[in-house]
Structure 1
């Protein structure tokens, strides 16, 4: 009996891989040296037709279930890795059965949290990672997804204009429902709190995180940040009829958090003096969708917010507030954004994705102006950044030589 291949699209190159060999024994010349997080399964990265694919060896029924969940999450526009195929029906050279393999597309410029150890994981960085995980968990819960194994290890992180954006990378324990109960959400949060505390203690045991950081209190942050965000997105608010401006304020706060409001559910009292409102949140991505519409740039939401701010400044500086927004955006793209992002030498372009590079140049310009006590031109800031800052950045398109599975892990009771 031959291989049973399920793939999102025809991919003949898959047949060239040594599926008759256990994944842990695959030859090095096939593998891409990317950082791997902690996993209960064997995971390897391979290059296929110019793309990098993560291959996870797993039982066939679990592989099919996770493949289906990841595909559904992508259809719901949720931040999760893209499942591209399943290879089942594997046997070794002696005819003995082997586990199936789940294939997912590698998320460019993303890192497992342990790979950030090489970049000095400070307390503030840890807290930003947890904030990003809280946003991810809220998004998933709003769409009825119960994770069942929430952790930093099951998440990938991308830089997002000084913050981080989190992506689900392991869904094998998850369940997709029409709506989650409060008990299901609380269960996920409790799992997250325990797992995060354990992961941070592992880092401390390996000498990779300062003992001054309180792993327990940091892990509790997921509870408070989640509760704040969930309340802002779902709470019913009662206002006086003369305070309708509070409705606009609520919408602006939600947009600042990166969520769109599709509609408002408004009820009035019998005497018409008070209004109860509850926003129907569509999804995260308010800023990124606007930027995509105007410029064609598909970036993270915080990055989009920063780019849109620069676009608005460009419009004001050139007195073009009354011009067509898309024409102004095209001019900004060709005269400001593209020259800056292309200023990096070709051999340094894998350091950061273009939108993050643009953000860092703007930050660098601000710091230079403050230090020199004068207005620094964007050209001067770009040259200084490319000469003195960018060369020391780690490559984030594909971080080579950092195998996070080799980092010591504290034995648990």
Structure 2
């Protein structure tokens, strides 16, 4: 049988032909290979260079190789974080004429690490919590797309840090199945497998001395279930907000924040019944919001203030006609952020008389106004709008703040809200 390369890009076969397909993967010479950390796999896996690409090459039987290749292509079309499939090579024969196993080729995910490499130095529990968060996000996104993983584990996941964010990527789809929709039983089965697999992997790390002494492998295995359940419920419950209930959306964002997630993307669909809102969560590291706000708007704020301003920016962008994440023809986030600063942020801040602002800088003042709007909207059970919030803040809050400036203890406690 002749060598066959089925590829997603017509340019790849010519590059891949340079690799030594007549040799078993375990015997490939070093000059073909790239020394990158590899995770545990039931198959032989190697990283190799093909032209300017670094690729992962995995030996396995033809049927599962072709099946996994097609599943990864489906996940790519669905926008799910997973390794990028490049080709399947079949018809391999050795120098002695004996057949060799086919291979699946995926693009190396730049900057990613298998979990064992991340534990070469003892990982802090706080970082491990963020990894569990990222894996929970991935599993929820897979289930929302109708994909039953069948073998969710740390070993089958790659983790990457990007601008302070942690993201998890599926690296092994061999046991997966794609359905129009998953039943609760299918999701529970996947989640139970994840719990058992993760606890087992962490117990293995504990036995090798690579686990922080304060980490309980069984508890961390349970954590993926808790994080998944909370996020699934928060993301999938029906949310149709009537007009004038903007603070309900704000409430949902706050609950996601309490779960430890941020809103990376928000989409609002308008209908006669109300506004349907969907969220895409993201796990972020300390200082991320400050850097993101500064990059998008030029505003310098404290971390919690920056998070609040970014949430407001994201909510506002989702209402704009030219906001379409992933559409190359839509306005870029930087353009929309500039418009938000010009049309929303600056007019709102300028509505507060300069002589009443005291030492508050614009970002701090806007944060306080958003908090006051939230408080008043919750009390009124409808969105009162920024204009009303600014007027009430100027009339009822700032005078009391100025009175407390002579009392350091009251100043530390922050502005007094009207009862």
CA separation of 1:206 and 1:26: change in aligned 2, threshold 3 A: same
**Residue in 2 that maps onto 1:314:** 298
For the residue of structure 2 that corresponds to 1:45, the secondary structure is strand
CA distance in 2 between counterparts of 1:37 and 1:153 reads 6
Contact 1:236/1:278, CA 8 A, preserved across alignment: no
Counterpart in the other structure of 2:50:
48
Contact preservation (8 Å) 1:55, 1:101: yes
What CA RMSD, in Å, does the superposition of the two structures yield over aligned residues?
3.3
Which of 199, 202, 225 is residue 200 of structure 1 equivalent to? 202
**Alpha carbons of structure 1 residues 7 and 238: separation in structure 2 relative to 1, 3 Å:** closer
For residues 56-92 of structure 1, what are the alpha-carbon distances to aligned partners after superposition, in whole Å with 9 as ceiling and x for unaligned?
0011110100000101111111100000000001111
CA distance in 2, matches of 1:184, 1:42: 29
- 1: CA distance, partners of 2:286 / 2:270: 25
1:313 Cα deviation after fit: 5.3
Secondary structure, in 3 states, of the residue corresponding to 2:154?
coil
- Who is 2:264 aligned against? 258
TM-score of the aligned structures, taking structure 2 as reference length: 0.65
Alignment correspondent of 2:135: 133
- Give distance in 2, aligned partners of 1:13 and 1:231: 46
Of residues 20, 26, 29 in structure 2, which corresponds to 1:27?
A: 29
Deviation at 1:212, TM superposition (A): 3.4
**Whole-angstrom distance in 2 between the partners of 1:144 and 1:106:** 25
The 3-state SS of whatever aligns with 2:79 is coil
Question: Aligned equivalents of 2:299 and 2:101: distance in 1?
Answer: 57
* 8 Å CA contact retained: 1:141, 1:180: yes
What do the CA deviations read for 1:25-52 (whole angstroms, capped 9, x no partner)? Answer: 1111110000000000000000111210
TM-score computed with the length of structure 1 as normaliser: 0.66
| Shift, 1:308, TM fit | 3.5
CA 199–327 in structure 1, closer or farther in 2 if over 3 Å, else same? closer
Matched position secondary structure for 2:298:
helix
1:167-222 residue CA offsets vs partner (Å, 9 max, x unmatched): 00000001111111111111110000000000001111111113432100011110
User: In 1, Cα distance between the equivalents of 2:285 and 2:215?
Assistant: 29
1:9 pairs with 2:9: yes
- Consecutive unaligned residues of structure 1, counting only runs of 5 or more, are 268-276, 288-299, 330-413
Q: Distance in 2 between matches of 1:303 and 1:14?
A: 42
Q: What secondary structure does 1:103 align onto?
A: strand
Q: Tell whether the 8 Å contact from 2:293 to 2:300 is kept in structure 1 after alignment.
A: no
**Alpha-carbon distance, 1:265 to partner:** 7.6
3-state SS of 2:119 partner:
helix
Partner of 2:103: 101
Q: Give distance in 1, aligned partners of 2:285 and 2:141.
A: 14
Which of 1 and 2 has higher RCO (CA within 8 Å, sep 6+)? 1
**Larger-Rg structure:** 2
The secondary structure found in structure 2 opposite 1:140 is: helix
Per the alignment, residue 248 of structure 1 pairs with: 249
For the structure 1 residues 278 and 211, does the alpha-carbon distance in structure 2 shift closer, same or farther, using more than 3 Å as the test?
A: farther
* Unaligned ranges ≥5, structure 2: 302-312, 314-330, 339-419
For 1:299-358, what per-residue CA distance to the aligned partner results, in whole angstroms no more than 9, with x for missing partners? Answer: x999985543113552589xxx9xx963986xxxxxxxxxxxxxxxxxxxxxxxxxxxxx
Contact 1:262 1:282 in 2 (8 A): no
1:16 shift after superposition: 1.6
What SS class does the counterpart of residue 257 from structure 1 fall into? strand
Task: Work out the CA distance in 1 between the residues paired with 2:209 and 2:8.
Answer: 42
Change (3 A) 1:139 1:302: farther
Answering whether residue 112 of structure 2 is matched by residue 110 of structure 1, we say yes
